[in-house]
Structure 1
Amino acid sequence: MTFQELQPKVIGLLSQSDVSRDEKLKNLCQLLSNNISYYDWVGFYFADHETRTLHLGPYVGAETDHTVIPFGKGICGQVAVSNENFVVPDVSAQDNYIACSFTVKSEIVVPLFVNGKNIGQIDIDSHVIDPFTKADELFLEFVNQEVAKLF
């Protein structure tokens, strides 16, 4: 399924009135994982600006021990500080990478803004080297714009 075909599905899923926010986010992760072959782990981290940490939210994929990540640590922690998308074509080439699994070859992290404040991010791991393109970034920015409406 193309990103363009997924957009109305994202909107429909997130606009369901009888589903909690966490359930919507989990269902969104599942939708992306099921429909984009190289999205092997899809999840959200949410920022606690007082403690300068990220906390794991809804996700689908292999279990992770990384439920709390300090700002600045790993790809997710760097995005919490930079407020910019981070695409890692090959995680083995990154010095500040937190390894989740030896099967992860690449990662993309896109910050989630609500009223101009970075409240978290969507994080996607792939078992493929260098699968992410500008189209992935634009699609995930769209996804986060829709997710932001839940807050």
Structure 2
Amino acid sequence: MPLSVEEKIYDIGEPTEDSPVLITSNWSLTYFIVSAEIEGSKVASYLLVKDTEGLGVLTGWAAGKFNGDSIAPFVRKCGIEGRTKTRKLVIPGLTARIRGELGEALPGWEIVVGPREASEIPAFLPGFAATLKK
């Protein structure tokens, strides 16, 4: 298994302009676990995968590769703004401390702190997705 996956938008299911947008790092284990939990939730979503040089979310944050200054330019250039109208970005709960700086770096987006563990995504995502359709 490769240590990292490509930085890009991954469609989980068949997302629409009202689907949730989540972000994670490009460490392959993290990607496969998070994408599997999103699939298990049965909620079509966009998963943004940020290049952290193959580091996990917390290690990437500690290394300065998963923070507001690095995530904001990726969100702007990856094309997600043309695919969704929700403008809510779910960040991993373990990186809740970047919420403020990321919100400042991404005006017009609401930064939502998601679950601390990927295993909590199936319980979180259906309720969150319902709020996007209102």
Q: Which has the higher helix share?
A: 2
Higher RCO (C-alpha 8 Å, min separation 6): 2
Q: Which has the higher strand share?
A: 1
TM-score normalized with structure 2 length = 0.32
Give the number of the structure whose alpha-carbon radius of gyration is greater.
1
